[in-house]
Structure 1
Amino acid sequence: MSYLALFFSGAFLCNCVPHLASGLRGEPFPTPFAKPHGVGNSSALVNVLWGYSNLLAGLYLLTRQPVTIGVNANCLTVLAGVLVLGTFSAVHFGKVWQGKHAR
């Protein structure tokens, strides 16, 4: 169970970055609260709140399963969560932005 928590910690921490960055710049960005979900844009404020909640969730999971930085199973599991969600996000939002700019 600890590896699952560490994996999701990495995923939450990865997910907080684009939402906080967009929100802090005052730019809209897709969130699960937009219509359609994950495709339509949400306001900058919604993105800051969503990014902050992801940050808190990721940090909370890390406090429950401490990680030593280095080449070890715990650290690699967190990095796997970052890589998996980062890859999914790059592919998904690449298609979303391509579709929006094709109009």
Structure 2
Amino acid sequence: MSRARSVVAGVLLANAVPHGVHGVTGQAFPTPFADPPGIGLSSPALNVLWSALNLVGAGVALRGARVRPLALIVGAAAMASFLAAYFGPTSPRRRG
């Protein structure tokens, strides 16, 4: 169970980064609360909130668990790869 919790924490930590960066730099960025979800843009404040919720979720996932660094890295790398493909310049989402 510690491995699964570490993977989940890695996913949430990786997802927190782009939302936090866009939020603190004042840029709109998609969140699950946008219209349509994940495609429309949300305000910088909402992105900061979503980033914080991801960080809290990662903390909850790891609370009381033995952290498995490799599993954490695998989760973060998987999410980062997904995000790069989804938001990258050659993604079908960008081509419209």
Q: What TM-score do the two structures reach when normalised by structure 2?
A: 0.89
Residue 10 of structure 1 corresponds to: 10
Whether contact under 8 Å (1:13, 1:59) holds in the other structure is: no
Using the TM superposition, name which of 83-92 and 57-66 deviates more.
57-66
Quote the Cα distance in structure 1 between the aligned partners of 2:74 and 2:28.
28
CA RMSD for the aligned pairs? 1.3
Residue 36 of structure 2 corresponds to: 36
Q: Is the radius of gyration larger for structure 1 or structure 2?
A: 1
Percent identity over the alignment is 38
Q: CA deviation at 1:59?
A: 1.9
Whether contact under 8 Å (1:27, 1:44) holds in the other structure is: yes
Quote the Cα distance in structure 1 between the aligned partners of 2:52 and 2:23.
10
Alignment: residue pair count: 93
Misfit runs of 4+, over 4 Å: none
Q: What TM-score do the two structures reach when normalised by structure 1?
A: 0.83
Residue 70 of structure 1 corresponds to: none
Quote the Cα distance in structure 1 between the aligned partners of 2:87 and 2:59.
25
